[in-house]
Amino acid sequence: MGLQGEEQRVDVSAIKGRGAATRSPHRFEHRARDPFDDGWSAFNEATHTKVALAAPATTVSWEDAKSAISHNDSPDIYFAYGLNPYRGCEHGCSYCYARPTHSYLGLSPGLDFETRIIAKRNIAQVLRAELGRASYVPQQIALGTVTDCYQPIERELQLTRAVLQVLSETHHPFGLVTKGSGVERDLDLIVPMAERKLAAVYVTLTTLDAALARKLEPRAAAPHRRLRTIRALAAQGVPVGVSVGPQIPFVNDDMEQVLEAAWEAGARSAFYTVLRLPWELNGIFQQWLQLHYPQRAERTMARIREMRGGKDYDANFATRMKGSGVWAELIAQRFCKASARLGFNRERVELDVGQFRHALARGQSVLF
C-alpha cells in the first residue's frame, strides 16, 4: 500500500544534504502524484517572494527482526551470508542500488530511503540465537551489504557495535564495507579479530573530488576523511581494501588517483563496479544527473546504455557488476593496469572460519 499525503519536493537550491530531490513513487503504488507549483504553497506574502521548502529531516522507526543473517546465492557476489542492521541509508548516495528495497516497505526509494530509516533493534539478540543453533555452518558474514552499517544514526543506536560484540564472542569471521568513519570507534573489537584473521574492512572511495562527493554521497564521510579511516585501520594491522565503485562515465573519472591515494593510505586490496540502475533507481539517478550535471546527462546515459546492451539496466549476472562492450573494457583495463602498477590484490585475505564457536544464550554457562 502506498503512502498517503502529498508529494514531497524541494527546490534544487534546497537539496543540500540529500541525494534525491523528490519522494518518487515506488513501483507498487497504484497512484502517483506529480508536483505542481501553483505559486501559492511556497510564497511569503509579507515579502512577496518565493520561499524554498526545507529539506525533510531524518526519522527512525524500530523493527523487530525475525532473522539476522540473509543468505545469498548470486553467482557474481563473493559472500553467502549478509547482515544489515538498518533498512534505508542516510548517506543518500544518488547511485545506491539498494534504494528500490524501500518499495517493499511501501516507502519511496527517493527521499524516504534516506530520511525514513528502519532500525532492527533486536539484531544482536537474533544473531546470537542463529549462531547458537547446532545446525549453523559458519561462513564469512558480510556486514553492510545493502545499506551502510556505519551510517550517521549508528553513532547513537550502536546496533553494528552490538553485532560485532556477538561476532567477537563467537570468533566468527566477517568483512564489512563502509563509507562511514564511524568504523574507527569499534577498533577495540575489530583489531583483536583482525589479529586472529577474523576481520577485514573495505572502504568505498568513489572520488577524491570533495565537491562531487557532496552531491553524489551527501551524508557520507568526505573523501579525505575516508582516507584517514584507511590509515587508521592499516596502522592497527586490520586488512583494509578499497572499493572504487561505482564508476560513472563522465562523472567520477579519477579512478587512478583514487587508487594511488588509497594505496598510500594503506589499502592493499581493491575492487570496482560500474553504475547499475535497477527499478526505480533509474529515474532517481537520471533526475540527479539533470539537477547537477545537465550538460553531461545525455553523454553519461549513452555510455551506460552502451555498457548494458542498449538498455538502461541489464540484470544479467554475467555483466551487471562490470558491464560489457568497449566502454566497460576500457574501465576494466584502467583498473587492472593501475592496480598492477601499485601492487593491489597480490595477496588474498583469507579469514579463518575454523575458530568459530557456537554462541551461548544469555545466562548460559560453559560446563567444561
All three cell numbers of 281, joined, read 533507481
Looking at residue 56, its pLDDT comes to: 79
The Cα–Cα gap between 319 and 317 comes to 6
Cβ pair 64, 122 in contact under 8 A: yes
Q: Strand, helix or coil at 295?
A: helix
Radius of gyration from C-alpha coordinates of the chain:
21
Looking at residue 8, its pLDDT comes to: 42
List the beta bridge partners of residue 243.
204, 271
DSSP code of residue 64: -
What angle, rounded to 10 degrees, do the helices at 294-307 and 281-292 form? 140
Cβ pair 248, 95 in contact under 8 A: yes
22 Cβ partners below 8 Å, 6+ apart?
7, 8, 9, 35, 110, 111, 287
Q: In this structure, which amino acid lies at residue 289?
A: L
Looking at residue 79, its pLDDT comes to: 80
Q: The pTM is what?
A: 0.88
The Cα–Cα gap between 137 and 123 comes to 19
Give the C-alpha distances (Å, rounded to integers) separating 74 from 83, 126, 321. 16, 24, 12
Cβ pair 109, 279 in contact under 8 A: yes
- Please tell me the total number of residues recorded for the chain in this structure: 368
**CATH superfamily, region 12-27+58-345:** Aldolase class I (3.20.20.70)
All three cell numbers of 260, joined, read 594511488
Locate the domains of the chain by residue range. Answer: 12-27+58-345
User: 157, 190, 172, 79: which is closest to 127 by C-alpha?
Assistant: 172
Greatest Cα pair distance, the chain, in angstroms, is 79
Cβ pair 156, 184 in contact under 8 A: no
> Which residues of the chain are modeled with pLDDT < 50?
1-10, 12-14, 36, 48, 50, 363, 365-368
Looking at residue 21, its pLDDT comes to: 75
